[in-house]
Amino acid sequence: MIALKRVLPFVIGFAAFIAVGLIRPALAQVDFLTDLLMSEEQEKRVAEQEHPKILAQFGGAYEDEDLAHYVQSLANFLGRTSRRPDITYRVTILNSPVVNAFALPAGYLYVTRGLLALADSEAELAGVLAHEIGHVTARHTAQRFSRAVLAQGLVGLLGVATKGTNLEGLAQAATPAAVVALQGFSREHEHEADLLGVETLSRAGFDPRALSSFLAKLERKTDLEARIAGREDAAPFNLFATHPRTAERVQRTIAQASSRVVQEPIVARNLYLEKIDGMLYGDDPAQGFVRGRVFAHKQLGFRFEVPEGFALLNGQKEVTAQGKQGEIIRFDMAPEDQALPPDRYLSEVWARDRNLQGLERLEINGFPAATAAARLEEQGGTVDVRLVAIQAASDRIYRFLFAARAPAPDAFGEAARGTAFSFRRLTDAEKRELKPRRLVTRPLQKGETVADLAESLPFPALREDRFRVLNGLAASEALQTGRIIKLIVED
> DSSP string covering 141-205, please?
HHHHHHHHHHH--HHHHHHHHHTTSTTTTHHHHS-HHHHHHHH---HHHHHHHHHHHHHHHHHHT
Q: Coil, strand, or helix at residue 345? A: helix
CATH number of domain containing 377: 3.40.1000.10
Q: What's the distance, Cα to Cα, between the start and end of the chain in Å?
A: 22
Which of 415, 431, 447 is the C-terminal boundary of a domain? 431
Task: Say yes or no: 232 and 318 in one domain.
Answer: no
Expressed as residue numbers, the domain containing 444 is 435-490
Task: Say yes or no: 21 and 159 in one domain.
Answer: yes
Task: Say yes or no: 35 and 163 in one domain.
Answer: yes
CB 373 within 8 A of CB 386: yes
In a domain, 277, yes or no: no
Does the pTM surpass 0.85? The reply is: no
Task: Say yes or no: 210 and 305 in one domain.
Answer: no
Total tally of structural domains belonging to the chain: 3
**61-98 per-position pLDDT tens digit:** 999 999 999 999 999 999 999 999 999 999 999 999 98
Could you count the other beta carbons within 10 Å of the beta carbon of residue 159?
14
**Cα atoms in the Cβ-side hemisphere of radius 13 Å centred on 87:** 27
In a domain, 368, yes or no: yes
Quote the pLDDT of residue 240. 53
In a domain, 323, yes or no: yes
Contacts of residue 214, defined as CB under 8 A and 6 or more positions apart, other chains included, come to 118, 119, 120, 124, 127, 128
Task: Say yes or no: 391 and 442 in one domain.
Answer: no
72-81, 198-207, 263-272, 401-410: range with lowest mean pLDDT: 401-410
Quote the pLDDT of residue 262. 82
**465-484 per-position pLDDT tens digit:** 999 999 999 888 889 888 99
d(CA 224, CA 217): 11
* Residue 300 confidence class, pLDDT cut points 50, 70, 90: very high
Task: Say yes or no: 170 and 114 in one domain.
Answer: yes
Task: Say yes or no: 316 and 424 in one domain.
Answer: yes
> How confident is the model over 13-41, as a mean pLDDT?
43
Q: b/e per residue, 334-363, with b = 16+ CB within 10 A? A: beeebebebbebbbebbbeebebeeeeebe
Task: Say yes or no: 71 and 189 in one domain.
Answer: yes
> How confident is the model over 193-199, as a mean pLDDT?
87
In a domain, 280, yes or no: no
Task: Say yes or no: 439 and 425 in one domain.
Answer: no
> How confident is the model over 181-198, as a mean pLDDT?
78
Cα–Cα separations (whole angstroms), residue 149 to 152, 338, 358 = 5, 38, 39
Which of 382, 406, 431 is the C-terminal boundary of a domain? 431
Which of 380, 404, 431 is the C-terminal boundary of a domain? 431
CB 351 within 8 A of CB 165: yes
Contacts of residue 404, defined as CB under 8 A and 6 or more positions apart, other chains included, come to 323, 325, 326, 327, 328, 383, 384, 412
> How confident is the model over 222-229, as a mean pLDDT?
82
**Which one-letter amino acid corresponds to residue 100?**
N
Kindly tell me if the per-residue pLDDT of 218 is higher than 50. Answer: yes
Quote the pLDDT of residue 222. 87
d(CA 398, CA 3): 10
In a domain, 1, yes or no: no
Beta strands in 264-409 (DSSP E): 280-281, 289-291, 294-297, 302-305, 311-314, 319-322, 328-333, 357-364, 367-378, 381-393, 396-405
Kindly tell me if the per-residue pLDDT of 270 is higher than 80. Answer: yes
In a domain, 2, yes or no: no
**427-444 per-position pLDDT tens digit:** 999 999 999 999 999 999
Task: Say yes or no: 332 and 268 in one domain.
Answer: no
376-383 own/partner pairs: CB under 8 Å, 24+ apart: 376/161, 378/18, 378/157, 378/160, 378/161, 379/18, 379/153, 379/157, 380/17, 380/18, 380/21, 380/157, 381/17, 381/18, 381/405, 381/406, 382/406, 382/407, 383/14, 383/161
Backbone angles phi and psi of 465, in degrees to 5: -60, -40
Q: How many helices (H) and strands (E) does the chain have?
A: 20, 17
Q: Are strands 396-405 and 294-297 parallel, antiparallel or unpaired?
A: unpaired
* Residue 19 confidence class, pLDDT cut points 50, 70, 90: very low
Task: Say yes or no: 357 and 252 in one domain.
Answer: no
In a domain, 3, yes or no: no
In a domain, 51, yes or no: yes
Kindly tell me if the per-residue pLDDT of 38 is higher than 90. Answer: no
Task: Say yes or no: 303 and 181 in one domain.
Answer: no
More confident residue, 250 or 306: 306
Q: Residue 289 pairs with which residues in a beta bridge?
A: 296
**Cα atoms in the Cβ-side hemisphere of radius 13 Å centred on 408:** 22
